[in-house]
């Protein structure tokens, strides 16, 4: 038997193809058709052009094309997921019907997951980093999903949990992750199921509520600073005294020479006077 695969979303209409089509010169009255699920449950059956059986779960949801035997199901439910078998017999002789078709087709039912919701909870803050727990959740989808994430385009590993009432019920999925954020980063969470993916992105920011305490200078630093200031002031004082003495010494020398010249000029007439007085005696 050949196997085919058909995908359908929850609530849509889907057609499962059979492996035989009646020629225009032939009639449905010459056939028996059985559509079975999981090889045991009879979905519906036709014989000599009439419907002879239908599962109650498919009442008002399933019908068959009377030319190519396609099984139409609408609306699709998650419980419809699984393999179906189409068996066609030609009634050349009612006592010895011949099988002209026996084919299996597998229906994969999918349900869209909700857009992933990302939440964060800060656990610790320091000046260098922010510790946080990131949670990504989605619900209402089928089949069982995979959850993935990226941090600045680099993959991260989730701690994942799934919730479902049964293997044929919608799933809820939650992933948690502990992060040490040292700078603002772009974070993406994706939920993938049977080839369908939904993603959500969020900018994770490093908390900047960090106040660096002002540390007072130590006793040794204060003492050293005072000593340096005193030495600086003493150096300025000594330099000022030296410069003032040096300037005064240079300024006083010309004045002394003038005084000596005055004294000499004063002494000379007195000598002349004594000489003249001596001569007159």
* pLDDT tens, residue by residue, 16-43: 999 999 988 888 999 999 999 987 889 9
pLDDT at 11 over 60: yes
Measure the CA–CA gap between 207 and 273, rounded to whole angstroms: 108
Task: Specify the CATH architecture of the domain 117-204.
Answer: Sandwich (2.60)
CA distance 9 to 165: 19
Weakest mean pLDDT among 90-94, 101-105, 211-215, 227-231: 211-215
Domain boundaries, the chain: 4-109, 117-204
* For residue 61, pLDDT beyond 50: yes
Mean pLDDT over 78-91 rounds to 94
How much is the mean pLDDT over the chain?
Answer: 84
Query: DSSP label at 57?
Result: G
CA-closest candidate to residue 147, choices 173, 121, 119, 181: 173
pLDDT for 2: 55
Output DSSP code: residue 30: G
Cβ burial of 108 (10 Å; 0-12, 13-18, 19+) is: middle
Residue with tokens 């919701």: 117
CA distances from 239 to 144, 147, 234 (A): 90, 80, 8
Average pLDDT over residues 80-85: 95
In whole angstroms, give the CA distance from residue 153 to residue 68.
50
pLDDT of residue 38: 86
Using CA atoms, how far apart are residues 111 and 71, in angstroms rounded to an integer? 21
pLDDT band at 242 (very low <50, low <70, confident <90, very high): confident
| The domains spanning 4-109 and 117-204 adopt the same CATH topology | yes
Q: Is 230 left (phi over 0), alpha (psi -120 to 50) or beta?
A: alpha
Q: Give helix then strand counts, H and E, for the chain.
A: 1, 17
CATH topology of domain 4-109: Immunoglobulin-like (2.60.40)
The beta strand positions in 114-170, using DSSP E, are 117-125, 130-141, 146-151, 154-156, 159-163
Q: Are 170 and 78 in contact (CB under 8 A)?
A: yes
- The stretch 230-243 carries a mean pLDDT of 79
Residues 6+ apart with CB under 8 A from 204: 120, 132, 134, 179, 181, 184, 185, 186, 187
Whole-model pTM: value is 0.66
- Residue-wise pLDDT tens digits, 158-170: 999 999 999 899 9
CB 175 within 8 A of CB 118: no
Do 62 and 73 meet the contact criterion of CB atoms below 8 Å apart?
A: yes
């Amino acid at each position: 038997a050949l196997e085919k695969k058909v995908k359908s979303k929850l609530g849509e209409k889907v057609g499962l193809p059979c492996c035989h089509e009646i020629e225009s010169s032939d009639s449905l009255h010459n056939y028996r058709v059985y559509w079975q699920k999981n090889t045991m449950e009879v979905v519906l059956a036709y014989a000599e052009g009439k419907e002879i059986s239908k599962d109650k779960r498919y009442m008002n949801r399933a019908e068959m094309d009377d030319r190519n035997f396609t099984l139409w199901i609408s609306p699709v439910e998650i419980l419809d997921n699984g393999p179906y078998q189409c068996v066609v017999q030609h009634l050349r002789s009612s006592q010895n019907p011949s099988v002209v078709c026996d084919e299996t087709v597998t229906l994969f039912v999918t349900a869209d997951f909700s857009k992933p919701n990302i939440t964060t909870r800060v656990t610790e803050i320091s000046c260098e980093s922010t510790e946080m727990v990131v949670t990504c959740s989605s619900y209402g989808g089928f089949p069982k999903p995979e959850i993935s994430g990226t941090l600045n385009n680099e993959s991260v590993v989730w701690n994942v949990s799934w919730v479902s009432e049964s293997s044929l019920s919608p799933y809820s999925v939650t992933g948690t992750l502990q992060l040490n954020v040292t700078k603002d980063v772009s974070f993406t969470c994706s939920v993938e199921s049977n080839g369908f993916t939904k993603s959500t992105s969020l900018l994770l920011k490093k908390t900047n509520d960090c106040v660096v305490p002002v540390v007072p200078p130590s006793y040794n630093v204060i003492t050293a600073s005072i000593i340096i200031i005193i030495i600086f002031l003493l150096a300025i004082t000594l330099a000022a005294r030296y410069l003032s003495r040096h300037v005064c010494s240079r300024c006083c020398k010309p004045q002394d020479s003038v005084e000596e010249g005055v004294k000499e000029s004063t002494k000379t007439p007195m000598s002349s006077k004594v000489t003249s007085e001596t001569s007159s005696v």
